[in-house]
Amino acid sequence: MNQPTPDGGAPSLRARPGFVAVVLAIAVLAGALEISPASIALLVSERLGVDTGAVSWLVSVMLGVAVVASVPAGRVVHRLGPRRALAAASALLVAGGVASWWFATRGDYALVFLARIVAGGGFILLWNAGLGAFGAFAERATATSLFTASGPLGFAVGHFTAPLLAASLGWASPFLVYPLLVVVPALALAVVRAPAGADADGDAPTLGEVRSLLATRAFVLVAAMAFVSYSLYLFVNSWVPTYLDAVLGYSATQSGALVAVFPLLGAFSRLSGGLVADRVFDGERRPVVLASFLVSGPLLAAFLVVERSAVVLLALVVTGYLVQLSLGLFYSYVPDVLDAHLVTNGVAVLSSVGLAGAFLAPIVAGVLVDVGGYALPFAYVVGLAVVGAALAFVAGEPGR
């Protein structure tokens, strides 16, 4: 059954296929644009005259912008309405992407970096506007999970196509191709039919009203769960490959191949989390969130004692699926715990808190590895999973 909505008259996803397809296309291309430097890191390093660490910052800077700019982006979405905010986000993605290509062909790393900051602004504006628009559908849990699945799907597209583009059209072509492709669905935004509320605008909430978000216990609990969940997600992505290589003796190629399943697995996992919540648990999300935390914690601990390849692969796949299962669900909580005029800013704050967890987890893990080897970071994330399960139990099922 569908998750109840406040107005009781929200359209289903099937009633707006054009809008859904257009927004997802933009989001997938944005994900490909974000991750593509990592897929051709050696080429970028050679042509721009920097080390691979500097290349990684071309990816990280977009995430960093998202953490800092999420709340301001939420206010922009509230003022413009999701449809016009999506158009503005597309414009920033195109401008930042094309500029990064232009400066890359001239070998100027610093200006490429600055152009990626512009694209990062477009990315977080797209994220908040997309979540706001998809949250207006009747199947709220499924819809928000579907939108968040565009992220890992875009990463998979970028990983697969960027090397092909670089080989056939020149090393810098991925910087250009993805933003140019964004133009097509961005123009289609003007004609596709959106869900009610996607064209609305109005006065942004005052700072006092935004501060009231942090005084809302139910919202704070959801934000804390998002922080934990994104921390687990980035820990597995960033440190499990190194652990497989350094401790279990896998080659870089083998560990990379094992962890490469994550983007496609994440797209399936995030979407299925919403579908299970809506169709199996009648819109209740807590069983899915609890399962995500309760099972992924012991599986993460298992990496410390398991060495057989088949078992490691099974643990990695199941952990990867469960860690990402609830990532799209947290956004569906927001309309249930906040007044309607605060929902857009609630989504923005939730994005900022979740992405902060993603940003900090690899850093904290790195410090813990330096202090006491790999046992400490794995103990840290297992502890996070326990905390996440406790938060989910205390939070209950808002809106029910």
The alpha carbon torsion through 247, 155, 277, 323 (nearest 10 deg) reads 10
Which residue pairs, CB below 8 angstroms and at least 24 apart, start in 15-20? 16/137, 16/192, 16/193, 16/194, 16/195, 18/188, 18/191, 18/192, 18/193, 19/133, 19/192, 19/193, 19/194, 19/195, 19/198, 20/134, 20/146
pLDDT score recorded for residue 5 = 42
Tell me the average pLDDT across 264-268.
76
Predicted structure pTM score? 0.78
Lowest-confidence region among 73-77, 308-312, 362-366: 308-312
Give the whole-angstrom CA distance, residue 241 versus residue 223. Answer: 28
pLDDT score recorded for residue 367 = 82
User: What pLDDT digit, counting tens, does each position of 90-145 carry?
Assistant: 999 999 999 999 999 999 999 999 999 999 999 999 998 998 888 778 787 788 88
pLDDT score recorded for residue 77 = 86
Residue 183's contacts (CB-CB under 8 Å, 6 or more residues apart) are 90, 94
Q: What is the H or E stretch that residue 300 is in?
A: helix 286-302
**CB 274 within 8 Å of CB 332:** yes
Please name the CATH architecture into which domain 1-204 falls. Up-down Bundle (1.20)
Query: Residue 187: which pLDDT band, with cuts at 50, 70 and 90?
Result: very high
- Examine the pLDDT at 288 and tell me if it is beyond 50: yes
- Token match 């359209």: residue? 11
Lowest-confidence region among 166-175, 188-197, 351-360: 188-197
User: What pLDDT digit, counting tens, does each position of 316-329 carry?
Assistant: 778 878 888 888 88
Return the domain boundaries, the chain: 1-204, 205-400
pLDDT score recorded for residue 6 = 42
The alpha carbon torsion through 350, 286, 283, 125 (nearest 10 deg) reads 10
pLDDT score recorded for residue 192 = 86
pLDDT score recorded for residue 239 = 66
Residue 31's contacts (CB-CB under 8 Å, 6 or more residues apart) are 150, 151, 152, 153, 154, 155, 157, 158
Tell me the average pLDDT across 185-189.
93
pLDDT score recorded for residue 199 = 57
User: What pLDDT digit, counting tens, does each position of 13-30 carry?
Assistant: 788 888 999 999 999 999
CA quadruple 32, 34, 37, 38: dihedral sign: negative
- Examine the pLDDT at 51 and tell me if it is beyond 50: yes
Query: Residue 3: which pLDDT band, with cuts at 50, 70 and 90?
Result: very low
**CB 73 within 8 Å of CB 88:** no
pLDDT score recorded for residue 250 = 63
pLDDT score recorded for residue 105 = 95
Record the tokens describing residue 225, joined without a space.
């769960």
pLDDT score recorded for residue 370 = 79
Give the whole-angstrom CA distance, residue 1 versus residue 267. Answer: 22
- Examine the pLDDT at 390 and tell me if it is beyond 50: yes
On the question of a common fold for 1-204 and 205-400, the answer reads yes
- Examine the pLDDT at 275 and tell me if it is beyond 90: no
Chain-centre distance for alpha carbon 346? 16
**CB 123 within 8 Å of CB 100:** no
Query: Residue 1: which pLDDT band, with cuts at 50, 70 and 90?
Result: very low
- Examine the pLDDT at 399 and tell me if it is beyond 80: no
* CATH code for residues 205-400: 1.20.1250.20
- Examine the pLDDT at 151 and tell me if it is beyond 90: no
- Token match 């699945």: residue? 149
pLDDT score recorded for residue 246 = 64
Q: Region of 137 please: left (phi>0), alpha (psi -120 to 50) or beta.
A: beta
- Examine the pLDDT at 252 and tell me if it is beyond 80: no
User: What pLDDT digit, counting tens, does each position of 38-49 carry?
Assistant: 778 888 989 999
Most confidently predicted of 165-179, 181-195, 198-212, 257-271: 165-179
Record the tokens describing residue 139, joined without a space.
């199947």
Maximum alpha-carbon separation in the chain: 58
Q: Please tell me which residue, 86 or 83, carries the higher pLDDT value.
A: 86
Angle, helices 52-80 vs 17-39, to 10°: value is 160
Give the whole-angstrom CA distance, residue 21 versus residue 333. Answer: 24
Output the average pLDDT for the chain: 83
Tell me the average pLDDT across 171-197.
89
Give the whole-angstrom CA distance, residue 360 versus residue 235. Answer: 9
- Examine the pLDDT at 306 and tell me if it is beyond 60: yes
